[in-house]
Amino acid sequence: MSRRIDCGLVADLADGTMQMAWVDGTEPLLLVNVGGTVHAVQGICSHEYFELDRGFLTAGSLTCALHLSRFDLVSGEPLDPPADEPLAVYPVTIEDGRLIVEFPG
């Protein structure tokens, strides 16, 4: 079972940017706009605790600034070590100009 989380206006997330949202004030969720497509992934690196909004975007991937592990934004799969576990990826829809993320239970 999943929950629908309203993460704000799509207009507030410009192309090429990312922002952290906190589900229930405790679960970090990273929203990323690449070419008008918004992705939602877990907000903490799967390798070591580090907030991914401190990282940077490169050609459809997200790089963690701590150890430079890179992740595919579509699949969450790690592309470079030291990370070897994927990021959780969540479906995003846009309804009435708002970003809605399907988040687990």
- At residue 15, the 3 state secondary structure works out as coil
- Which pLDDT belongs to residue 64? 98
pLDDT of residue 72: 98
Structural contact between residues 76 and 86, judged by C-beta atoms closer than 8 angstroms? yes
What angle (nearest 5°) sits at the alpha carbon of residue 45, between those of residues 95 and 70?
90
Residue 19: CA atoms inside 13 Å, Cβ hemisphere, count?
13
Residue 105: which pLDDT band, with cuts at 50, 70 and 90?
A: confident
Q: 3.40.190.290, 3.20.20.10, 3.10.20.30, 2.102.10.10: which CATH number matches 2-104?
A: 2.102.10.10
* Other CB atoms within 10 Å distance of the CB of residue 60: 14
Q: How many CB atoms lie within 10 A of CB 104?
A: 10
pTM for the predicted model, two decimal places: 0.94
Which band of pLDDT confidence, cut at 50, 70 and 90, is reported for residue 1? Answer: confident
Q: Where are the domains of the chain?
A: 2-104
Q: What is the reported pLDDT for 60?
A: 87
Q: What digits encode the pLDDT tens for the residues 71-89?
A: 999 999 999 999 999 999 9
